[in-house]
Structure 1
Amino acid sequence: MAGPANKRQKREEYKSTSRTDGTTELPKKKFYRQRAHANPFSDHQLTYPSSPDAMNWGPYYPAFVQQLPEENAPTEPSETVDVSTTKDDSTLTTNQIRKLTQDVEVADIGCGFGGLLVALAPKLPNTLLLGMEIRMQVSEYVQERIKALRAQNPGTGLYQNAACLRANTMKFLPNFFKKDQLSKIFLCFPDPHFKARKHKARIVSTTLNSEYAYVVRPGGIVYTITDVEDLHNWMVQHFEAHPSFERVPEDEQEADECVQVMRTETEEGKKVERNKGPKYVALFRRKEDPPW
């Protein structure tokens, strides 16, 4: 006699029966739970483009796909194209890579369950936002959440500007974004990696800050928030020491509408609020490059 279904079986049953019929119901988080953090140095068998020009954004932002002349249209519908290119980009032809009418401008790195992403999307309706999450189940949840929100708001254009993909930004950020492409990057409640030997895995470091400086345009902002004071001091120290960034004054910081959203809409932020914990916020502006 078979016993009761385990968690994995319940998860697969839920996804196969509830998420394949065009439902507008928001996904249930309990079926997408995963460990809080992932090792960014592990091989996660990720797919990624060889360069930003090789990235096929069409399936992520279908409402913003360029209308191609009929003679240049893909031989197959865009939805049949794999949503991400592989390490061998020969699997996608030039015609299969669907170009957008505008570039992605905002990246939420380590987006978690997408609270910030779906809160910002209506506030920045003309801007393409991308959540980037390394955990498979969590990124799948955000994708299903956005799909359901789009279905709940037909004809309004709401949430068409938000998308999520699975990625390891510590390794592949420049594979997705061109130089000076982004106007905002959000680093919300990142893994603090308390042990000194783990500090190399922190999402803010001298090396990674140079990559942020590469993809963020002059005048763009990197937003950081954490409930761990030591990590906050670490991020402030490393960004202030970098020649491409300067800290945004507190009065300007508090006037930024994205800061309030960042404080209140992420899942981690809500948990800290419930526990009456502190929230440390710091913003850093990308400086103009010095003349050659």
Structure 2
Amino acid sequence: MEETAETSDVQLDAKPTCETVPGLPQKKHYRQRAHSNPHSDHDIEYPLSPLHMDWTENYGDFANGRLVEFADIGCGYGGLLMRLSPMFPDTLMIGMEIRVKVSDYVNEKIQALRKHHEKEGHYRNIAVLRTNAMKYLPNYFNKGQLSKMFFLFPDPHFKNKKHKWRIITRSLLSEYAYVLREGGLIYTITDVKDLHDWMVLHLTDHPLFVRLTDEELKADPVVGMLYESTEEGQKVTRNDGEKWPAVFRRLPNPPL
């Protein structure tokens, strides 16, 4: 069955449900341009430090001393979060999205899913923050807090003078290495070959990351979700486009 804009993220392959949940927000009311300038003033509130971040505001009592472990950077309409939630029901996951309308949509959708599955307690482990991860990531997460980070179909910033705006750069990778625990994973996928080569080059050159082998990719059940879980990925499929994934592991810190 061909998925529509309203049902594409709800026809879940994984538990707990494959039904169409009533009362979900419609994407057509939350449309916004595909990308946003990360260097503009977006009037974003952010915590002074991770110690000032109260995750109960996002997860309620389910936080209960837990810390966020998965971060989907530029989560878009939240498709990946919806699919990962049943796979890791005890793991807190956060989507970070700079666009106001899009983050509002994801939040409304999560609240609707929680309400629909209130008896079973599903989808309590996912939430969304409207923020600029390129600027404020260390304000949210402690050193070594995250075990997975996702960069799915990020803005390619085609012009050479805007390459410094890309979400994968040497300086930003050092921040990602800081918040990722040893053995943690960075997942990337794009339909732009130049961007794929750029991300692979920068991650390969960084001393704290190593690329997963093809065998390791096949053994990771999360990798298969990178292709179709997002609206962007589904659009590429409809247009018969190619997709290039790459996953990197956070290496141990070198001895002092």
TM-score by length of structure 2 reads 0.90
Question: C-alpha separation between the residues in 1 aligned to 2:63 and 2:152?
Answer: 29
Give the aligned partner of residue 153 of structure 1: 117
**Which one of the candidate residues 27, 32, 39 is aligned to 1:34?**
32
Map 1:72-87; keep pairs closer than 5 Å.
none
Structure 1, gaps ≥5 residues long:
1-22, 67-100
Question: C-alpha separation between the residues in 2 aligned to 1:24 and 1:177?
Answer: 34
Question: C-alpha separation between the residues in 2 aligned to 1:171 and 1:258?
Answer: 27
Equivalent residues of 1:24, 1:151 under 8 A apart: no
Equivalent residues of 1:189, 1:268 under 8 A apart: yes
Question: C-alpha separation between the residues in 1 aligned to 2:40 and 2:118?
Answer: 40
Q: Which amino acid aligns with 2:158?
A: F
Q: CA deviation at 1:186?
A: 0.2
Please state if 1:166 is matched with 2:130. yes
Question: C-alpha separation between the residues in 2 aligned to 1:157 and 1:234?
Answer: 41
Structure 2, gaps ≥5 residues long:
1-20
Q: Which amino acid aligns with 2:242?
A: P
Question: C-alpha separation between the residues in 2 aligned to 1:247 and 1:134?
Answer: 28
Q: Which amino acid aligns with 1:259?
A: V
Q: What do residues 12-62 of structure 1 show as CA deviations (whole Å, max 9, x unaligned)?
A: xxxxxxxxxxx9500011110011110000000000000001012112101
Question: C-alpha separation between the residues in 2 aligned to 1:270 and 1:24?
Answer: 22
Q: CA deviation at 1:251?
A: 1.3
Question: C-alpha separation between the residues in 2 aligned to 1:156 and 1:65?
Answer: 17
Map 1:216-235; keep pairs closer than 5 Å.
216-235=180-199
Higher Cα Rg: structure 1 or 2? 1
Equivalent residues of 2:63, 2:92 under 8 A apart: no
Number of corresponding residues:
236
Question: C-alpha separation between the residues in 2 aligned to 1:136 and 1:144?
Answer: 12
Equivalent residues of 1:108, 1:131 under 8 A apart: yes
Equivalent residues of 1:122, 1:159 under 8 A apart: yes
Q: What do residues 84-137 of structure 1 show as CA deviations (whole Å, max 9, x unaligned)?
A: xxxxxxxxxxxxxxxxx2110000000000000111101110100000000000
Q: CA deviation at 1:63?
A: 3.3
Q: CA RMSD in A?
A: 1.1
Give the aligned partner of residue 61 of structure 1: 59
Question: C-alpha separation between the residues in 2 aligned to 1:39 and 1:108?
Answer: 18
Q: CA deviation at 1:65?
A: 4.0
Secondary structure of the 1:63 match is helix
Q: CA deviation at 1:203?
A: 0.2
Question: C-alpha separation between the residues in 2 aligned to 1:264 and 1:221?
Answer: 19
Question: C-alpha separation between the residues in 2 aligned to 1:154 and 1:182?
Answer: 27
Map 1:11-160; keep pairs closer than 5 Å.
25-66=23-64, 101-160=65-124
| Runs of 4+ more than 3 Å apart | none
Q: CA deviation at 1:261?
A: 1.1
Please state if 1:187 is matched with 2:151. yes
Q: Which amino acid aligns with 2:147?
A: S
Give the aligned partner of residue 237 of structure 1: 201
Question: C-alpha separation between the residues in 2 aligned to 1:256 and 1:196?
Answer: 34
Question: C-alpha separation between the residues in 2 aligned to 1:180 and 1:65?
Answer: 18
Q: Which amino acid aligns with 1:50?
A: L
Q: Which amino acid aligns with 2:248?
A: F
Question: C-alpha separation between the residues in 2 aligned to 1:65 and 1:251?
Answer: 35
Distance 1:112 1:143, change over 3 A: same
Equivalent residues of 1:48, 1:172 under 8 A apart: yes
% same residue: 56
Question: C-alpha separation between the residues in 2 aligned to 1:107 and 1:155?
Answer: 26
Q: What do residues 245-292 of structure 1 show as CA deviations (whole Å, max 9, x unaligned)?
A: 000111111221111111111111111111111010000000000111
Question: C-alpha separation between the residues in 1 aligned to 2:176 and 2:138?
Answer: 9
